[in-house]
């Protein structure tokens, strides 16, 4: 057995141990598809910057078959990797990557693919996920689209080198696949602030759409069933995942926050972690209460604040073991959070997977347990 095949087996064992990979077809795909063909170069984190890694570097192959997300592009700039190679680690925001194998496994299984299905992937990136899909479904059944022509060119070459030739096109995935084909399954490997309606019209009635949501608080994975008339309905999934957004769905930079005075600070019973940490049960509901709000990290002391596009903000700190907040702007965001916490307790502390999603031409909303009752906007 080759070294890469051994490392692939080890990765599969880890995914089985993590309980994210179960289906024999996907186990076979992860064992067979050579991830290293799709990742001859990438970035690794280096103290807040990004270091360039090349296939000739020691440890390259082991990193390729680690459980990590491997960033392959920063700030949409194809030259940044060479720059980092020449000058040392560079700053930047990831704009393409090969996602964590665990979230890939979760999403592929949640897609519930059956033999004969036509599958569309939005966000080709390196092409690795398209290769996994091609292994499982047959490349002739798979279409993949990315907005970045350079990435599509490289992905096509690497897919062919690995023995797969799915339809691989340049385009805005928010418009579906350029050829306008109908699909049984649509998988978006980026996140969206709202569901592009083209996905629903390009999915056969009863077909499934799996995507992550670009909600800065309470994001996560959803699966929709396409309706007869370009509508969709589905659920937030218990298994969670966070992805970089589609280009047009990126959020603007937050303005610097004001410094509160000593008298602005008040004690609170809620730690910031309960609102922003994906592992916390309340996080999803907190996001429903404050659509548009997002956490920002303060570089000076690593504390986390919340900001809203309307100019509202919350700073948070620990003082002598107690949680304290200061807030400002047109809306008292932390009061919204605290009353949402009471609301959530009264509703019986529902987990994220008790929430459903309805998408029609004129509204996109969440509901609890059954459609028709109380709703919250998706965005």
**By the criterion CB under 6 A, which residues form the site for ligand SAM?**
96-99, 122-123, 125-126, 128-129, 145-148, 151, 172-174, 189-190, 243-244, 246-248
Give yes or no for a contact between 43 and 62, defined as CB atoms under 8 angstroms apart. no
* Residue (109 or 172) nearer to ligand SAM, CB: 172
* Residue (238 or 248) nearer to ligand SAM, CB: 248
* Residue (174 or 276) nearer to ligand SAM, CB: 174
| Coil, strand or helix at 349 | coil
Which neighbouring-strand residues pair with 187?
121, 210
The minimum distance between CB 83 and ligand SAM, in angstroms, equals 19
Let me know if 191 is a catalytic residue: no
| Coil, strand or helix at 332 | coil
Give yes or no for a contact between 19 and 33, defined as CB atoms under 8 angstroms apart. no
The minimum distance between CB 30 and ligand SAM, in angstroms, equals 12
CA 293 to chain centre: 18
Task: Round to whole Å and give the CA distance between 123 and 113.
Answer: 18
The minimum distance between CB 136 and ligand SAM, in angstroms, equals 14
Per-residue CA distances from 10 to 60, 119, 132 (Å): 16, 28, 17
Query: Who's near 300: CB < 8 A, 6+ residues apart?
Result: none
The minimum distance between CB 147 and ligand SAM, in angstroms, equals 4
The minimum distance between CB 80 and ligand SAM, in angstroms, equals 14
The minimum distance between CB 164 and ligand SAM, in angstroms, equals 12
* Residue (246 or 336) nearer to ligand SAM, CB: 246
Chain position whose Cβ is nearest to ligand SAM: 125
CA 377 to chain centre: 19
Q: Phi and psi of 154, rounded to 5°?
A: -65, -40
Task: Round to whole Å and give the CA distance between 299 and 274.
Answer: 21
Any idea which residue has 């399954």 for tokens?
185
Angle between helices 128-137 and 149-161 (to 10 degrees): 50
DSSP 3-state percent helix, strand, coil across the chain (nearest 5): 30, 30, 40
Outline where the chain has alpha helix (H): 3-17, 24-32, 35-38, 60-64, 80-87, 101-110, 128-137, 149-161, 197-201, 272-276, 283-289, 333-346
Catalytic residue among 66, 96, 99, 312: 99
Token digits of residue 26: 């996907």
* Residue (145 or 186) nearer to ligand SAM, CB: 145
The minimum distance between CB 145 and ligand SAM, in angstroms, equals 5
Burial 154-163 (b: 16+ CB within 10 A, else e): bbbebbeebe
* Residue (28 or 248) nearer to ligand SAM, CB: 248
Catalytic center residues: 99
């Amino acid at each position: 057995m080759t070294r890469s095949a051994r490392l692939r087996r080890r990765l599969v064992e880890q995914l089985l141990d993590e309980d994210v990979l179960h289906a024999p077809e996907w186990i076979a795909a992860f064992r067979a598809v050579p991830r290293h063909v799709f990742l001859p170069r990438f970035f690794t984190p280096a103290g807040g910057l990004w270091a360039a890694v090349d296939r000739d570097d020691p440890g390259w192959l082991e990193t390729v078959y680690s459980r990590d997300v491997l960033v392959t592009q920063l700030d949409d700039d194809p030259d940044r990797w060479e720059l980092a190679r020449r000058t040392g680690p560079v700053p930047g925001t990831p704009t393409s990557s090969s996602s964590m194998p665990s979230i890939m496994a979760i999403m592929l299984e949640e897609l519930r693919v059956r033999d004969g299905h036509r599958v569309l992937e939005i966000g080709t990136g390196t092409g690795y996920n398209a290769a996994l899909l091609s292994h499982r479904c047959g490349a002739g059944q798979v279409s993949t689209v990315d907005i970045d022509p350079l990435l599509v060119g490289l992905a096509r070459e690497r897919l062919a080198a690995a023995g797969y030739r799915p339809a691989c096109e340049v385009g805005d995935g928010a418009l579906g696949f350029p050829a306008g084909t109908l699909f049984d399954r649509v998988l978006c490997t980026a996140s969206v602030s709202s569901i592009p309606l083209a996905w629903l019209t390009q999915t056969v009635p009863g077909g499934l759409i799996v995507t992550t949501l670009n909600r800065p608080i309470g994001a996560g994975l959803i699966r929709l069933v396409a309706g007869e008339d370009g509508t969709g309905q589905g659920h937030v999934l218990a298994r969670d995942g966070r992805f970089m957004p589609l280009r047009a769905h990126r959020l603007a930079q937050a303005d610097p926050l004001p410094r509160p005075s000593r008298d602005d600070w008040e004690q609170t019973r809620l730690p910031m972690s309960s609102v922003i940490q994906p592992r916390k049960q309340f996080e999803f509901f907190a996001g429903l209460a404050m659509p548009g709000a997002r956490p920002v990290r303060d570089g000076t002391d690593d504390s986390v604040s919340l900001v809203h596009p309307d100019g509202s903000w919350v700073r948070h700190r620990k003082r002598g073991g107690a949680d304290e907040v200061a807030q400002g702007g047109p809306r008292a965001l932390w009061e919204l959070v605290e009353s949402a916490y009471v609301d959530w307790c009264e509703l019986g502390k529902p987990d994220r997977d008790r929430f459903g999603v309805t998408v029609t031409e004129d509204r996109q909303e969440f509901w609890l347990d059954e459609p028709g009752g109380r709703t919250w906007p998706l965005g």
